[in-house]
Amino acid sequence: MRNTSLVFVCLGLMGCGPEWNGTFVGTLSSTGFCSDGSSVPPSSDAVQVTLADNGDSVTWESNCGATFIADINDDDQANVRQTSCPATTNADGVTTSFTVEDGTLTLNDNTLQMEINFFVTVSGTISATCSVSSDGTLKRLEE
Per-residue pLDDT tens digits of the chain, which is 143 residues long: 444 443 344 344 444 678 999 999 999 999 999 998 999 999 999 999 999 999 999 999 998 889 999 999 988 999 999 999 999 999 989 999 999 999 999 999 999 999 999 999 999 888 899 999 999 999 999 86
Task: Answer yes or no: is 13 within a domain.
Answer: no
Total number of domains in the chain: 1
Task: Answer yes or no: is 8 within a domain.
Answer: no
**CATH number for the domain that contains residue 74:** 2.40.160
Task: Answer yes or no: is 62 within a domain.
Answer: yes
Query: DSSP strand E in 2-87: where?
Result: 22-34, 39-53, 57-61, 67-74, 77-80, 83-84
Query: What count of other Cβ atoms lies within 10 Å of the Cβ of residue 96?
Result: 14
Task: Answer yes or no: is 12 within a domain.
Answer: no
> Which domain does 109 fall in, by range?
18-140
What's the first-to-final CA gap in the chain, in angstroms?
Answer: 38
Task: Answer yes or no: is 3 within a domain.
Answer: no
